[in-house]
Amino acid sequence: MAQKKQIHEIYITRAIAIIGVLIVHATATPVTQIIDPDLSKGFHFMNVFFKFGTTTFILLSSFVLFYTYYHRQLDRKLMIRFYKRRLLYILLPYTLFSIAYFFGPFSNYPFFQGVDKEAVRSFFISMLTGKAEGHLYFVFISVQLYLMFPLFLWLLKKYPSTCKYLVLIGFASQWAFVLLNHHYLHITLKGSIAFSYFSFYFTGAFLGIYYHQIIDWLKQNRAKSIMYQVMLMSMWISVAGIHIWMWYVTRIKGTQLPLFMFEGVWNAHTFLSAIVLIVMSHYIFKLASSRIVNTLIHLGVLSFGIYLVHIFALRTYTYLFPYQGEPLQYSLTVGGAFLAELLLSSWIVNLFFKRISWSWIVFGAIPKANPYKPAPERI
């Protein structure tokens, strides 16, 4: 079968998602330091509102997988190619960055102080559980999903009638795991287990399988499409507001709220955010200038590499410019942290892809086909 048409808008969604990740990490320390009441509210808002980054990446990963593979002939050759690509472009960079973070200058076991057997043992345990550095849990989750993907693909191709229920299956299986863990398993690092994200994974699968049918339906039913989008935006804003309020009363007021309430509202907020961002990306691609669109697409192309390296940029910046000072200075320092994450990480990843032929070893692969929006012809 011919290769599926590239969906350029997805790169815009990735760009917005990586911006969300960077904002959350830049404000992670400020939300724990009460410098000024109004300032704390602002950092709190940004830290909670933008928590959609990683879960959006999970949904998009599933979307791309099922969009690419579901309508193709499932055979041994295809699966070998699938795992070869994941080994080279995902696992290899993950391993290298696990080493870099675990033994880097900001770690508990820096190379320049010497490495003993206990450090090596601790590293392998951390790498095999996705804990060599906090944000690498996303790659660890992705690896779990890749291992399950062939089974899910085979089942859905064998029983195609179940595809229409994928969103419901995703939520049901995810919450079954949440309840099972709460009552029996008691896994403390539940966020590093793929079952915690099945609502995103199976929704991504649904969108990937039915993408063109969904787009055609939306074009043919514009009135209903607009109504559904208004409803979606209203739900998203409402749930995001509730999520922000919950964390505010917990962090600032010290109020204790039920854990299941946090779980449910987080799930709704991040899930709706991913759908809204996909819709928003289509509008941006269609309506924004080619310069804006291509800047976002380029950021989306680099997003995996930026995700891997941005903690180095953040720690280097905060080492040189600690979070301290009066409210204005403090705000500028936090803003600088975000810019350091974004600009320094983008520059490093972009430099590798432009100048180094083996850059895929460090930062994974980028699309071979040009995903950018052509500039309008001048008359």
Digit-by-digit pLDDT tens for the chain (379 residues) are: 445 788 999 999 999 999 999 999 999 999 988 667 788 889 999 999 999 999 999 999 999 999 999 999 889 999 999 999 999 999 999 999 999 999 988 887 877 677 788 888 999 999 988 899 999 999 999 999 999 999 999 999 999 999 999 999 999 999 999 999 999 999 988 999 999 999 999 999 999 999 999 999 999 999 999 999 999 999 999 999 999 999 999 988 888 899 999 999 999 999 999 999 999 999 999 999 999 999 999 999 999 999 999 999 999 999 999 998 888 999 999 999 999 999 999 999 999 999 999 999 999 998 877 788 787 755 5
CB atoms within 10 A of CB 241: 14
**In the chain, which ranges are E strands?**
none
Q: How far is CA 351 from CA 19, 89, 294, 337, 344, in A?
A: 20, 18, 18, 21, 10
Check residue 158 and report its DSSP letter.
H
| Spatial CA neighbour of 10 closest among 215, 218, 160 | 215
Which burial class, exposed, middle or buried, applies to 289 when counting CB atoms under 10 A from its CB (0-12, 13-18, 19+)?
A: exposed
CB atoms within 10 A of CB 122: 16
